[in-house]
Structure 1
C-alpha cells in the first residue's frame, strides 16, 4: 500500500487529486513489525495526513487531535519493533509511549464536542474514540513491552474498556453514529478477552449488524479475526493481529 501511495505522489497529493477515494478508506491492522514505514520524515508525513484530514473526517469521525496521536502510535510501534526482536528496549521509546498516553488522556471530549442540537452525539463520539485509542495505545505498547503490565496500567485499560463498551452500546442505537464505529468496536473486541463471554457475544452481535447496515463483509472479517483470538485465550494486541488485516470503512 505504501508503494502505491508513493507512486501517486504521497498521501497529500493523492487525496487532492483523487478525493473520490476517501469513501474507500480502509483500516489496516498490522503487526508492529509490519507497520507502514514513515521513518524518513515522520512529522512531515503526519502533517500531510492532517492537512488532508477534511477528506477523511466524514468517514471515520475520529477527532483530529486523537487521529494525530493514532498516527504517532503507529509510528512508535514501527520504531520499537526492531529493538524488541533483538530483546532490547530503547529508553526513549518508553518515554515516548508514556507521553503518547498522557496526551490521549488529556483530551477532553466535552471541549471538542460541537455545540448545538447534536452536542450529546459529538460528546459520545469523542468519548468513544478517546477510550478506543487509549486501549489501542496501551495494549499495542504492552505487546512491545515498552509499556508495563502493571496493576495501574491495566486498571486504566479496564476503565477505558468500560467507557468504550458503554459508548458503543449507545452508538449502536443512533443511526447517525452507528455507521462509524467499526474501529472502536474492533478495539473493544481485543480488550474483551479480559471480559466475560456475554461482552464478547455483544460485540459479535454488533459486528454482524454492522455488516448488514454497511453492506460489506468487512465487519464479518473482523468478527472472524476476533473469534480466533478469543479462542486462543492469550490477551494482547499482537496476539490478535499477528498478521496484516484490512477492514474497509
Structure 2
C-alpha cells in the first residue's frame, strides 16, 4: 500500500537533506522523518504536528501540571536563614511555563531537555511585617512628624511633649498602643475620608493588628490577680483609652473608662495613686481634664465620675495649669467654673440651683482676659506673638465658658429661659416645684434675669464668633480650638444662624482633625450637623449620648 493511501495528504517521499526535526519528535526523542509540511510520525500518532519553526510554539498545559521541579539543595550548602525565607517566598510567587529555546541555538540539535522552562514572576504572597519594623517606623514617624509639630506650636514647657527614644523597657501593651497611635495619626493626616479611603487600608490593617496585641496583653494583665493592681496595668489601660479617643469615629470610649476606673479603685482614688506613685500626677490630672470636657458634651443624667467634684477641684488647684494639657489651655479660674457647671447640670432644678448658677455666672463675668494675660511669666511677656496668643486664648475661652454656662444651665432648668428660647423647641426642662406659686415680685425678678441672660448670651456669642477666624489663623491657637468651636456650633444651630456660618464651623473642625491627627474633631462636626438638621435648640438635645470630643 502506498504511503499516500495510508497517511492521507500527499507529501514529499524523501526527507529534505537537512533532516529537520519537528518539535514534537524532539520532545518525544524520536527521529523525525522531516516530511513537509507536517511530520508523518505525528500524523500517524494522530498528533497535531507543531512544525519546524525556529521558535518553539506555545503548548497548552493542563492546570496543575508540573513541567519541572527545582532541584533540592545539596546538604553541604549553607544559606542564611533570612535569605532562604525570602527566596522561598519569591519561588512560591513564580509559575513555570513552556518556553522556546534561544534563537541562537540550532533547532536541529535535538539535545534539548524536556525540563526546559521559563519562570514567570508573579507578586509574592503577602507577608506580615515583623513587629519590630512597625515599632521602629512608629518611633521615626513620631520623632520626625509629631514631636516637631508639638514643639513648634507649644505655648510653654509641657511634660507631655517628649521625644520617643527608647522603648526597650516599655511594657508591650504600651508599646503596641503607641504604635497604633502613630499609625492613626498618619492615616488621619493623609486621607480625606479615612474610613473609606483605599489608599490607607493597609495602614488600618497594621493599626488593628497592634491594637489587638495591646488588648490581648491587657486582658492577661487584668485577669491575673498578681498583675491586676500593678501600675503598669493601670498605665496600659490609660494609654489604650487615649488611643481610642484619638482613633474612634464612634462614641465607644466609656467602656475603657469604666475598666480604668475599676483599676483605680483598687488603689483607692486618683489622689491615692498620685501619692503612691511618683510621676502619676500627669496621667491622673489629664484624665480629670478629659472627663471634665467630656461631661460638657454628655447628657446631664449620664455624667462621667472619675472623682468627686471636691477631689477634682483639689487636684486642679494643686496640679492644673493652662499649659498642663496641650489641647486645653484654659485659664485655671475658668476651668474650676467648668467643673462646678457640670456638677450643677446634674442636679434637679431648684431655687438653690438657680442661685448657685447666678454666682457662677457672676464669677465668669468678672474674669478679665487682659488682666490674666498680663500676669503671664516674664519670658512669655517678652514675646509679643506669644503674649497676643495668650490674650486671644483667654478671650476665646472666656466667651465659650460663659456661653456654655448659659446654654447648659438653661437646658437643665437651673437658669430660666426666655420665651423665644422656650418656643424654639418642644423640649422643656422640669419646672421648679414652686413655679406655679411664684409671687409677682418673684416673677418680675425672674423676668429681669431672663433679660440679663439673653443680653449676656448675645454679647458673648458675638465675641466668640468674631474671634473664631483669628483663632484659626494663629498656628498655636488653632491647635486648641476644638471646644470653642463646639460651643459656637451649638449656639449657631440653636439661634438658626446662616448655613455659611455652620459650614465654616464644620470646615474648621475637619481641618483640625487633619491637623491634629485625631478623629474627635470630625466626630464633633457630625454631631453638630445632626443637631442642626434636627432643628433643636437646647444643649442637651445636641448631646443626647456621651461624647469625648476633646483630648
- TM-score tier, shorter chain, comes to 0.7 to 0.9
Q: Does 1:154 align with 2:416?
A: no
Query: How many aligned residue pairs are there?
Result: 240
Deviations 1:152-188 (A, max 9, x none): 3123112111111222210101111110111111111
Deviations 1:68-110 (A, max 9, x none): 00011111112x2xx3xxxxx3211010001011111110000
Superposed CA offset, 1:213-240 (max 9, x none): 0011111100000000001112111010
SS of equivalent residue, structure 2 residue 484: helix
In the other structure, the counterpart of 1:209 is 511
Residue 86 of structure 1 corresponds to: none
Deviation sequence 1:109-164 (CA, Å, 0-9, x none): 00111333222211110010011000111000000122112343123112111111
Q: Which residue of 1 aligns with 2:301?
A: 33
Task: Tell me the C-alpha RMSD between the 2 structures.
Answer: 2.4
Hey, what's the Cα distance between the residues in 1 that align with 2:522 and 2:316? 28
Task: After superposition, give the CA deviation of every residue in 1:193-219 in whole Å (9 maximum; x if it has no partner).
Answer: 112221111101100110110011111
Partner Cα separation in structure 1 for residue 382 and residue 271 of structure 2: 32
Structure 1 Cα separation of the partners of residues 517 and 414 of structure 2 = 39
1:124 aligned onto 2:392:
yes
- When normalised by structure 1's length, the TM-score is 0.87
Where do residues 169-208 of structure 1 align in structure 2 (5 Å cutoff)?
169-193=469-493, 194=495, 195-208=497-510
Aligned match of 1:139: 407
Normalised TM-score (structure 2) = 0.41
Q: Secondary structure at the match of 2:549?
A: strand
Q: In structure 2, list runs of 5 or more residues that go unmatched.
A: 1-256, 418-449
* 1:19 and 2:286 are equivalent in the alignment: no
- Relative contact order higher in (CA < 8 Å, ≥ 6 apart): 1
- Out of 99, 117, 122, the position equivalent to 2:359 is 99
Give the structure with the larger helix fraction. Answer: 1
Instruction: Identify if the C-alpha distance between structure 1 residues 2 and 47 changes in structure 2 by more than 3 Å, giving closer, same or farther.
Output: farther
Contact 2:281–2:319 (Cα < 8 Å) also in 1: no
Match of 1:4 in 2: 260
Q: Answer whether contact 1:93 1:146 (CA < 8 A) is retained.
A: yes
**Offset at residue 11 of structure 1 (A):** 3.5
1:63 has 2:323 as partner: no
2:466 to 157, 166, 170: 166
Larger Rg: 2
The answer for the alignment partner of 2:315 in structure 1 is: 48
Aligned position for 1:90: 350
Supply the distance in 1 between the matched residues of 2:480 and 2:268 (Cα, whole angstroms). Answer: 28
Alpha-carbon distance between aligned partners in 2 of 1:61 and 1:12, rounded to the nearest angstrom: 23
CA distance in 1 between partners of 2:351 and 2:550 (Å)? 36
State how far apart, in whole Å, the 2-side matches of 1:155 and 1:162 are. Answer: 11
User: Is residue 500 of structure 2 the alignment partner of residue 226 of structure 1?
Assistant: no
